[in-house]
């Protein structure tokens, strides 16, 4: 069984220059989201530079260890092919890049490494064109003597690229054109990453519509002025059934807090107090009938001031809880900031399942927010979502033998054209 550590289908809808799920290191607006061209779900991440470049990097980098081996999957859809050699998806090894490259002379994707501004491609690549989806699996192994990069495009292996990397270890994944100025229009989706060599290739899969709070669970609220509906004086109490409506935004909220659309911790008398929310499919989605392979939880929080106070977000798996984010005695941030955690295994320790309401049942996941004894300044949960990665659910024969994940808009266009 694969052991991923991070996943993103772009459903969060968040990228920016600080406190975001993905960081736009250049902050130039060349990275946006598309709701019209997407492999699955609501959106994809669009990279649309004109004679320029911009790097997108995962945040926080602490999700990944500083290690030699990186394994990942990234999916591409081109409406304009890059007009220069570049690396589109990579891990950074101390200034050297290794990953999925594009060569303009033959319009092919290759294994590629970039060292001191010079890109070295593997011996063979796979031709790509506009208007089609391409799934790429990649593995890089760092070395200051002979590092390696291997990729597969739609399960076709490409020649290995090698080079003396600036560092033997990498930490953060990146997307873009690695500092190379290009004109292009590329859509990225269904990112999944691991640090286990045996996971290569991760293979096909998809991240569909996100899962968000759709009902209230069993709250544990001691009394008045414990939790409130945003900046109002309306309490959330044990009999409240609509607290979920305060934190169910798709995409996630922007960094400016809403006035009354969040769950606010005011003055809990007990460290055990919390509000509980039940996850379900967002609009357009459906209740899964097969278990996910990976669960990515993303939340947005903010505070009324910058002082130290408490908050904890926990994932509740059939009574076993795990901290998604522990903000105990952490300085408040007055604008929305994003916290995330990934789960290859359920908090109860086993594989994810669906049905039966037992351990690891994805369809019975809940979150709990609270666990504060010091809520001065008040802290708030603005929104929370799950991006879950699933195995493919359509036979390859529908695509003439080419494997894809769940059918999305671009695949449907191809299918109807055949």
CA distances from 396 to 75, 154, 210, 293, 303 (A): 17, 11, 25, 20, 49
Answer whether 191's CB lies under 8 Å from 5's CB: no
The pLDDT of residue 106 is: 98
Give the pLDDT score at 67. 97
Distance between CA 314 and CA 369 in Å, rounded?
Answer: 7
Strands 308-309 vs 86-93: parallel, antiparallel or unpaired: unpaired
Q: Are 110 and 121 in contact (CB under 8 A)?
A: yes
Query: 272, 300, 293: which is closest to 384 by C-alpha?
Result: 300
> How many CB atoms are located within 10 Å of the residue 129 CB?
9
CATH architecture of 6-205: Sandwich (2.60)
Please determine whether the domains at 6-205 and 211-390 fall in the same fold group of CATH: yes
Q: What is the Cα–Cα distance from 123 to 87, expressed in whole angstroms? A: 16
What local confidence, expressed as pLDDT, does residue 393 receive? 62
User: pLDDT digits over 38-75, tens only?
Assistant: 999 999 999 999 999 999 998 877 889 999 999 999 99
Domain ranges of the chain: 6-205, 211-390
Stretches where the chain sits below pLDDT 50 are 394-418
Specify the fold of 211-390: Jelly Rolls (2.60.120)
Distance CA 111, CA 153 (A): 10
- In the three-class reduction of DSSP (H, G, I as helix; E, B as strand; rest coil), residue 103 is classed as strand
174-196 residue pLDDT tens: 999 998 999 999 999 999 999 99
**Cβ(407)–Cβ(415) below 8 Å:** yes
Q: How far apart are CA 225 and CA 324, in angstroms?
A: 25
């Amino acid at each position: 069984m694969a052991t991923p550590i991070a996943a993103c289908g772009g459903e969060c809808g968040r990228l920016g220059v600080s406190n975001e799920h993905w960081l736009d290191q250049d902050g130039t607006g060349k990275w946006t989201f598309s709701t019209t061209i997407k492999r699955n779900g609501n959106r994809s991440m669009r990279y649309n530079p004109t004679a320029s470049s911009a790097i997108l990097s995962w945040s926080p980098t602490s999700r990944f260890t500083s290690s030699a081996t990186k394994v990942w999957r990234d999916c591409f859809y081109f409406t304009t092919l890059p007009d220069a050699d570049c690396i589109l998806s990579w891990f950074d090894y101390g200034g050297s890049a290794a990953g999925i490259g594009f060569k303009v002379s033959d319009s092919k994707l290759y294994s590629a490494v970039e060292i001191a501004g010079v890109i070295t491609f593997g011996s063979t690549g796979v031709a790509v064109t506009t208007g089609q989806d391409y799934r790429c699996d990649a593995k890089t192994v760092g070395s200051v003597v002979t590092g390696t990069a291997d990729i597969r495009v739609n399960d076709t292996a490409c020649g290995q690229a090698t080079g003396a990397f600036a560092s033997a270890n990498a930490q953060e994944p990146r997307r873009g054109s690695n500092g190379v100025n290009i004109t292009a229009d590329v859509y990225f989706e269904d990112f999944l990453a691991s640090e286990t060599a045996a996971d290569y290739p991760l293979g096909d899969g998809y991240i569909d519509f996100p899962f968000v709070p759709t009902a209230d669970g069993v709250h544990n609220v001691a009394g008045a002025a414990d939790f409130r509906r945003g900046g109002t004086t309306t309490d959330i109490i044990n009999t409240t059934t609509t607290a979920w409506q305060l934190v169910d935004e798709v995409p996630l909220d922007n960094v400016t807090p809403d006035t009354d659309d969040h769950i606010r911790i005011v003055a809990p008398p007990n460290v055990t107090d919390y509000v509980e929310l039940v996850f379900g499919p967002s609009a357009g989605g459906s209740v899964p009938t097969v278990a996910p392979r990976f669960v990515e939880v993303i939340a947005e929080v903010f505070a009324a001031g910058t002082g130290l106070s408490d908050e904890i977000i926990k994932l509740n798996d059939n009574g076993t809880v795990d901290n998604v984010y522990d903000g105990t005695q952490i300085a408040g941030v007055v604008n929305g900031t994003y916290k995330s955690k990934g789960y290859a295994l359920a908090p109860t320790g086993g594989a994810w399942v669906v049905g039966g309401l037992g351990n690891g049942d994805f369809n019975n996941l809940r979150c709990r927010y609270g666990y504060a004894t010091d809520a001065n300044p008040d802290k708030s949960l603005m929104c929370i979502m799950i991006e879950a990665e699933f195995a493919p659910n359509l036979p390859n024969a529908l695509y003439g033998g080419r494997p894809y994940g769940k059918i999305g808009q671009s695949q449907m266009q191809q299918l109807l054209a055949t």
